[in-house]
């Protein structure tokens, strides 16, 4: 049994990772300020250290209270549009909080650090599927902030012995198949929960941005990877950190168009997805699909839920049971 720190463990990806770590018999401490996460998403079996990664004293208290075998750093600001409006905030917050956490890990004697990175480090790729060694060229401050942290970590192994894995997720999707957790962002920007909310009547009709892309049905193609497969990938990468630092893409390897996603929701729910059709959005590439070949070969990881129908089925089940997610936020979290 090991003990792990999960920053952002009250958020979407983090809460599923916490469940997977607990299921595997490990101890978990969540460090989260609940700015976008939910208290109810942290299972009772995990400890919650409530505080912000911007506060270095908070972090030194966390590392003084527990010894960790590895840190999984999921906490971040992650809205692309917001990052375009306030790049300084995104770059300052994401980079500074990540450095604070990595530094606290080093001081606390922890030498393994897993960063939630993103496909946004690639910008608009020239070749799809995007290889793990494809050139990086972010087109928004969110992607830039993650790339800056990847680069900072690349200096940390030589200087401090901190080995790191930068995992560039594509579109995290789905929910815990056992129904213990799901996706709840506010605002929600992701297609699957938005389309499900539209279908359940708790959200507005979903917009399809662009129907004239050079894809099979004219709508944009994205790579949806099940959030529990992401969680499993975090555990699969750890043994590699015994010897070296790594960077990988985490995707399903297969892309799906917006219309295919809506049709999967219709199949699973037996209802029509209310939607409208509009023009392309600036900066949206037609196809974003990952090649995770190197990750698969080097860790043996393979997605358990590769089918878009199965991904949507787990998401639908959670949203149908929790139409308002973890609940509406009526008071500020203090
Ligand atoms: N969801 C995706 O599809 C996706 C894709 C690519 C990369 N990522 C990355 O994965 C990570 C998790 O994404 P998510 O969708 O779960 O986001 P999320 O907003 O659901 O979760 C983020 C969590 O971090 C916490 N947090 C944020 N800032 C904090 C701070 N300064 N101190 C302490 N806690 C803080 C929030 O309260 C929340 O619980 C992020 O780093 C994101 O950039 C997500």
Per-residue pLDDT tens for 101-147? 999 999 999 999 999 999 999 999 999 999 999 999 999 999 999 99
Ligand 1 geometric centre to CA of 91 (Å): 14
Task: Return the ligand 1 atom nearest residue 120 CA.
Answer: 6
Instruction: Single out the residue of 157, 146, 152, 154 nearest to residue 116, CA to CA.
Output: 146
Q: Structural domains in the chain?
A: 3-172+226-251 (3.40.50.720)
pTM metric for this prediction: 0.97
Ligand 1 geometric centre to CA of 271 (Å): 31
At 230, phi and psi to the nearest 5?
Answer: -60, -45
Instruction: Single out the residue of 82, 131, 75 nearest to residue 99, CA to CA.
Output: 75
Question: Residue 334: which pLDDT band, with cuts at 50, 70 and 90?
Answer: very low
Instruction: Single out the residue of 223, 325, 206 nearest to residue 277, CA to CA.
Output: 206
List all residues whose CB is within 6 A of at least one atom of ligand 1: 8, 10-14, 32-37, 52-54, 74-76, 78, 97, 116, 118, 169, 171-172, 185
Ligand 1 geometric centre to CA of 143 (Å): 13
**Length of the chain (residues):** 334
pLDDT digits (tens, 9 = 90+) for 149-208: 999 999 999 999 999 999 999 999 999 999 999 999 999 999 999 999 999 999 999 999
pLDDT digits (tens, 9 = 90+) for 256-286: 999 999 999 999 999 999 999 999 988 888 9
- C-alpha 2, offset from chain centre: 23
Instruction: Single out the residue of 131, 253, 121, 272 nearest to residue 199, CA to CA.
Output: 272
Helix runs in the chain, H state only: 12-23, 56-65, 80-85, 87-107, 141-160, 191-200, 227-237, 258-269, 293-299, 308-321
CA–CA dist 188, 58 (Å, integer): 29
Residue nearest to atom 26 of ligand 1 (CA): 75
Q: Give catalytic status of residue 142 as yes or no.
A: yes
- Residue 97 is given by DSSP the state H
Instruction: Single out the residue of 4, 13, 155 nearest to residue 76, CA to CA.
Output: 13
User: Are residues 275 and 208 in contact, defined by beta-carbon separation less than 8 angstroms?
Assistant: yes
Q: How far is CA 58 from CA 51, 65, 93, in A?
A: 6, 11, 16
Examine the pLDDT at 80 and tell me if it is beyond 70: yes
Mean pLDDT of the chain: 96
């Amino acid at each position: 049994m090991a003990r792990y720190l999960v920053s952002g463990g009250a958020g979407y990806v983090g809460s599923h990772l916490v469940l997977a770590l607990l299921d595997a018999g490990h101890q978990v401490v969540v460090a989260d300020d609940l700015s976008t996460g939910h208290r109810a998403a942290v299972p009772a079996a995990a400890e919650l250290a409530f505080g912000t990664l911007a506060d270095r004293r908070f972090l030194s208290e966390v590392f003084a209270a527990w010894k960790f075998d590895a840190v999984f750093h999921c906490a971040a600001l992650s809205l692309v549009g917001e990052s375009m409006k306030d790049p300084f905030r995104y770059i300052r917050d994401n980079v500074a909080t990540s450095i604070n956490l990595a530094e606290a890990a080093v001081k606390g004697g922890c030498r393994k650090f897993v960063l939630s990175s993103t496909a946004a480090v690639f910008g608009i790729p020239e070749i799809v599927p995007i290889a793990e060694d494809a050139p990086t060229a972010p087109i928004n401050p969110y992607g830039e902030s993650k790339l800056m942290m990847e680069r900072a970590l690349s200096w940390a192994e030589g200087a401090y012995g901190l080995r790191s894995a930068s995992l560039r997720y594509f579109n995290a999707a789905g929910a815990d198949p056992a129904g213990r957790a799901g996706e709840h962002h506010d605002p929600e920007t992701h297609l699957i929960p938005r389309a499900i909310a539209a279908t359940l009547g708790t959200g507005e009709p979903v917009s399809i941005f662009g129907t004239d892309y050079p894809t099979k049905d004219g709508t944009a193609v994205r790579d949806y990877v099940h959030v529990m497969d992401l969680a499993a990938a975090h555990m699969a990468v750890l043994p590699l950190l015994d010897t070296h630092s790594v960077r990988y893409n985490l995707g399903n390897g297969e892309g799906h168009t917006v219309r295919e996603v809506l049709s999967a929701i219709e199949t699973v729910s037996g209802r029509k997805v209310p939607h409208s059709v509009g023009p392309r959005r600036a900066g949206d590439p037609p196809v974003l699909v990952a090649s995770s070949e190197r990750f698969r070969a080097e860790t043996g990881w393979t997605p358990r839920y590769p089918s878009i129908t199965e991904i949507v089925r787990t998401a639908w089940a959670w949203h149908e049971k929790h139409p308002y997610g973890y609940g509406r936020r009526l008071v500020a979290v203090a």
